[in-house]
Structure 1
Amino acid sequence: MGLYRLAAAAALCAYALALASPGNAAARMRIVSLAPSVTETLFALGAGPDVVGVSQYCDYPPQVRDLPRVGSFLTPNLEAIIALRPTLVVGLELSSDVRQIRALNSMGYPVLLVSDDSLQQIETSIETVGARINRQPQARRLVAQIQTQIAAIQQRLANVKPERALMLVGHQPIVAVGAGTYLDELMRIARADNIAANAGQQWPHLSMEYIIAMRPEVVLDGSMGTDPSSSSGFWERYPAIPAVRDHRVFGYAEDPILHAGPRVGQSLEIIARMIHPEAWDRAAGGAHN
């Protein structure tokens, strides 16, 4: 406990000095991020220079690659965090009961937890972080930009027919995007009927028998990355699936699709273009008339 008390005293002292220093409060902070979505938000709000440590999964923007690693939101490295003398630690609500997070709180380190399981939560987390680091105007502009991107895609897809779709994040086992995730929400905005939405789980494990019976018209397969040939042998065994028969099995890159956060509008467009390419082909054709 002696070490914890000493660290807590040092943290409170550093925090008090930061508050007492002249100049912009945001520039004085030492922020540790425990999740990729949080890191992206901080950089999108212009607080990148204040970030002194990130999670092991943070890889965007490129500047984060040289920052110290402090574990993840579920397994934070307490010693590594303390060594960085943070004035703010930002993580996800999922980690609220993690022992290290409770320890940081008890030692006096300011901790902010946000959520990113839906579009609303992503927007709220941006505004919450912005308010906490005194960047409210930047947060409002960022949320407005995301809303504009989404509205433009919704308008483009207004008259398309929904397609039965399946989105996978892994093959062994077959793990799909289910209801209650921001990716399921993006699929619905992209005018897709998610065949895994009724499985009752956020990340359901599906059998091939179920997939064949549900006859998806489009398959988005994260195991393929951006190389359509990488899993061609896997899907060629199931020609009865409409998506396979019609050559509508597409790979997608984890970045940005699996990254909740400020680039969610970009992720939506990527998904929508794979499910409804005709909406963009039609617009391109009209531009030449």
Structure 2
Amino acid sequence: MLAFCFLLLSAATATAAVERVISLSPHTTELAYAAGLGDKLVAASDYSDYPEAAKALERVANYRGIKLERIVALQPDLILAWQGGNPSREMERLEQLGFTVFYSNPKTLTDIATSLEALGKYADSPQQANAAATDFRQQLNALQQSHQTQRPVKYFYQLSDAPMITLSGESWPSQVFALCGGQNVFADSPAAYPQVSEEQVIIRQPEVIFGTNHAGSQLARWNKWQQQLPAVARGNLFFLTSDWLNRPTPRTLKAAQEVCHYLDKVRQQPH
């Protein structure tokens, strides 16, 4: 089982409450609020839009990079970063300048609860984070118990349309689909997020095809393949809420409930 890679780059082994926090990705912003650090946030990344209060934060990062000089000027006690998502060179520079950086790189669903507890150590009190982590584990366990004996359902998850990108069996959020008994038709891809063709999807015969609400009408491309694809023939083309699914936060449970609902619907059809 893959361990959760949360790296805390600090010379000290103990953590202490902080007063100024910067988040460099939407999911670490959500985690900060859930862990009781919301009132400590002074800046965040673009698309940090949950909860509502996050929309008012100054923006210091986006998909192109981070505003290094502005981050330094804000003098944060703690920087929350996305391992692999934020530019390594700039992050190394911040570390060299003495800033404490907390890296998030979830590998399993339970890592979300672990991250809440780790972040809670920086809050004035860990009570909120610990309670959120406990609640998350309880709800996750209930979903696991209710779906562990269900029939596997072959699915294709379309991340983007042009080019058409999907995910491998080890890449986030494949864990959410697996929880519900989903069987990724590209699970064995050597690339984390492979570019695929319509023909490759047809060969693998998914029973259901998922897209996200951020991608608009991307699933319409499959309607012409009604005779070749079971997912199209049975009307199993579903849109998922992208922020729930693609951000590893407590709202991932909402994504799991959504995915499980659709896969259960597929299971009820004549096979």
TM range (shorter): 0.7 to 0.9
Consecutive unaligned residues of structure 2, counting only runs of 5 or more, are 1-15
**How big is the alpha-carbon RMSD for the aligned residues of Structure 1 and Structure 2?**
2.4
Q: Report the Cα offset of residue 91 of structure 1.
A: 0.8
Instruction: Note the alpha carbon deviations across 1:72-113, whole angstroms, 9 max, x for none.
Output: 487221112123221211112326872222222222222222
| Equivalent in the alignment of 2:76 | 86
Paired positions, count: 252
Q: Secondary structure at the match of 1:166?
A: strand
The amino acid of 1:238's aligned partner reads W
Q: Which residue of 1 aligns with 2:225?
A: 238
User: Residue 13 of structure 1 corresponds to which residue in structure 2?
Assistant: none
Distance 1:196 1:278 in 2: 19
Residue identity in the other structure for 1:189: L
2:200 is matched with: 210
* Structure 1 residue corresponding to 2:240, chosen from 233, 252, 256: 252
**Where do 5+ consecutive residues of structure 1 fail to align?**
1-24, 281-289
Distance 1:97 1:34 in 2: 10
Shift of 1:278: 7.0
- Residue 169 of structure 2, aligned match among 166, 179, 185: 179
TM-score, normalised on structure 1? 0.79
Q: Which amino acid is the alignment partner of residue 176 of structure 1?
A: T
Q: Quick one: structure 1 residues 76 and 117, their matched pair in 2 at CA, closer, same or farther if it must change by over 3 Å?
A: farther
Shift of 1:253: 2.5
The structure-2 alpha-carbon separation of the partners of 1:249 and 1:73, relative to structure 1 and needing over 3 Å to count, comes to: closer
Bigger proportion of residues as strand: 2
Query: Contact 1:119 / 1:182 at 8 angstroms: preserved in 2?
Result: no
Q: Quick check: 1:31 aligned with 2:21?
A: yes
What does 1:69-218 align with in structure 2 at a 5 Å threshold?
Answer: 69-72=59-62, 75-94=65-84, 98-218=88-208
* Partner amino acid, structure 1, of 2:129: A
- Conservation of the 8 A alpha-carbon contact between 1:226 and 1:252: no
Distance 1:95 1:271, change over 3 A: closer
Q: Which amino acid aligns with 2:112?
A: I
Percent identity of equivalent pairs: 25
Instruction: Give the whole-Å Cα distance in 2 for the aligned partners of 1:158 and 1:117.
Output: 19
User: Residues 276 and 95 from structure 1, CA distance in 2 versus in 1: closer, same or farther, beyond 3 angstroms?
Assistant: closer
**Equivalent pair of 2:106/2:248 in contact (CA under 8 Å):** yes
